[in-house]
């Protein structure tokens, strides 16, 4: 079953596909490589541990634009590699779509949707897992999924003034969390 954001993304794309003669459509492969330095990978006050962090993000984007507006949709995978602590590494997924389409010369339909997935990591201990002084103990960061969709209408009043009306809905959903972790911190949320 498709999530609400997936359905919204499919609706945005299908509204953008009827192309006019002057429209241009591209299928654009992309890749971003980022090399960073994190001075405190465990995010602790007393035991800072630095590391290089490499992020590689391949993506594939569909873009359509013309006189009536534009639409974009894409899929991006983010592979993060923490050199000093491989347990913090993971692969995340992001899917996004945007639409801005003229219905009349003054009235436009717009919207965007996204599906973002974070792979998380298990609890990490260094040496004694009982948490003795001097040992690194990093609690589990559960995987989560965030979806959102927004859509609305824009009316052009003058060249520089417009009125818009839109609605937004989103959800943050955490996967299974260890019962010893404060579950209130990782509470699922729905946003309107």
Residue 128 has pLDDT above 60, yes or no: no
Which whole-number Å values give the CA distances from 37 to 40, 50, 126, 138, 168, in the listed order? 9, 7, 21, 19, 36
pLDDT at 4: 54
- Name the maximum alpha-carbon separation found in the chain: 70
Residue 51 has pLDDT above 50, yes or no: yes
C-alpha radius of gyration, the chain, whole number: 22
SS3 category, 180: coil
Quick one: which of 106, 110, 113, 99 has its CA closest to 65?
Answer: 99
For 101, how many CA atoms within 13 A lie in the half-sphere containing its CB? Answer: 22
pLDDT at 133: 46
Question: Please, are residues 94 and 79 in contact by the beta-carbon 8 Å criterion?
Answer: no
**Of the listed ranges 10-19, 36-45, 108-117, 120-129, the one predicted with least confidence:** 10-19
- Residue 88: band (very low, low, confident or very high) from pLDDT cuts 50, 70, 90: confident
């Amino acid at each position: 079953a498709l999530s609400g954001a997936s359905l919204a993304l499919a609706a945005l794309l299908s509204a953008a596909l009827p192309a006019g003669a002057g429209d241009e459509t591209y299928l654009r492969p992309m890749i971003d490589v980022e090399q960073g330095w994190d001075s405190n990978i465990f995010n602790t006050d007393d035991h800072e541990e630095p590391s290089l962090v490499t992020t590689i993000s391949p993506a594939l984007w569909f873009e359509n634009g013309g006189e009536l507006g534009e639409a974009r949709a894409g899929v991006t995978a983010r592979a993060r590699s923490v050199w000093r602590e491989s347990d913090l590494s993971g692969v995340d997924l992001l899917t996004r779509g945007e639409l801005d389409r003229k219905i009349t010369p003054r009235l436009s339909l717009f919207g965007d949707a996204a599906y973002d997935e974070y792979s998380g990591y298990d609890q990490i201990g260094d040496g004694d897992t009982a948490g003795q002084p001097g040992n690194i103990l990093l609690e589990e960061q559960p995987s989560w999924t965030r979806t959102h969709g927004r859509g609305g209408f824009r009316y052009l009043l003058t060249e520089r003034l417009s009125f818009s009306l839109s609605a937004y809905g989103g959800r943050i959903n955490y996967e299974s969390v260890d019962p010893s972790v404060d579950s209130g911190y990782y509470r699922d949320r729905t946003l309107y």
